[in-house]
Structure 1
Amino acid sequence: MVSSAQQARFEGKVAVVTGGSRGIGAAVARRLVREGAAVAVGYRDDQESAAALVAEVRAGGGRALAVRADVADPEQTGALIERAVAEFGRLDVLASCAGVEHFDTLDRITPADFDHVFAVNTRGQLFAAQHAAAHLGEGGRIVLTSSVSASKAFFGHTLYAASKAAVEAMVLNLSAELGRGGIAVNAIAPGGTATDMARENGANYLHPDLAGKQDLSEWLEVGVALRRLAEPAEIAAGYAFLASADAAYMTGRTLRIDGGMF
């Protein structure tokens, strides 16, 4: 629910959302549009979903465009941001939501796995921040994406978790640098969220010793205080908060939204 006071928090603002065609990214794009922003939706493969989201926004009177950009290629990310600025005249917010999942044990991780996961989850976010910062002015906001896995162990999740822990280190250190220009940079660390990625990988979060003894819903009952997965819109609310003036004195931090995971 967005209150009437919140509906104009991003009036006249422009946001770029990477990974914006589905899941948390699509929810972030919708939330920012509802609060008045024009949004450039970055996507890699799912052109149909990106186009449908843009059509939905425009049908409701909002402003949006979809741009294909693989964040593993910094040049494509730069082109996405340049296109947003050319179309809407400015940039105020980067919400970096693109990411890839990975599960495997140490003995099976390959250099190619490392390069792919870090290219998207870490390098991709660093250079998205770099390209965005070149256009952001005083009051600009960068919101990157970490994960609860950066601070909670899961079997076979080492490579993914490392790629996300690096993001938390990036926002901590970038805050000192970007703060000189009045730009705030933070991250969201989502817990389990009801997305396509969760449906494809949810069972992997269970320890292999529990295979056949417990399913994900049973684990949620005892491992998460609110006893369920988050809805993408609930995670998107955190991005909107960090992107808004309500978080004007918050930078260099990672906001964990996990339903009370323990």
Structure 2
Amino acid sequence: MPKLLEAFPALAQAIRYGSVRQTPTAPILAIAEGLFERILIGLPGACTSLDDDAAHQRREQLRAMHAAVALLEGGTRAEDWSKALEGLTQRDAVHGLVRGAALRLRVELGQVKDEALGVLARKALSTAVPPSEAAAWLEGLVSGSALVLLHRGELWSALDGWLSNLARDTFIEQLPLVRRAFSGFSVSERRAMAEHIRHLSASPRTSHETDASAALDPERVAKVLPILSLLLGVRLDETV
């Protein structure tokens, strides 16, 4: 399966731009179509039972596949690929990093509304999920431009709740993973994100947030904010 994921983007490039020898693309397209169908069938299994290194490799392959599908016009490939990504986001057996990355790709396509994103975030960041798995999911989702997620209030509310409810030792243990998730953001993006988080406690609660299970302890939030400030590299009392 990994070989198929690596082969399809190369074929898509050859079909879209042609080769230096001007090889006819029709035979290549036929091969690519066959590979694509096999990838769709085997993708769920290829994203389960992965260690962390394999999960990072699979994430990069998903990104390459996503770009390759966008190159090829016609047919139902884009729709089929989106459905395959959606399937990954809903399978608990899929490595957290890959689930988060698949969700990120769908968000970039504009196919995930704020409420739906919040539901998935609360599930992935719930207390029932091992912190290391939750941190991996977060890394998969937020890696990339922060602008795509900046105004997703439901997501930041779920993140705020998760951080606030982690035990101190667990938070410190997961801090490097969470820091890595945000490391690719620019200073201005981190400032904007910090401002969103800073205002969460003062913002009106949504119907989801008023549930007892989602209620936040202001004292615990206050304890988390200084560490979160270090995480983002900005002061939470600054304005954007």
TM-score higher than 0.5: no
Normalized per residue, the structure richer in strand is 1
Kindly indicate whether structure 1 or structure 2 has the higher relative contact order, using CA contacts under 8 Å at least 6 residues apart: 1
Higher Rg of the two aligned structures: 2
Q: TM-score, normalised by structure 2?
A: 0.30
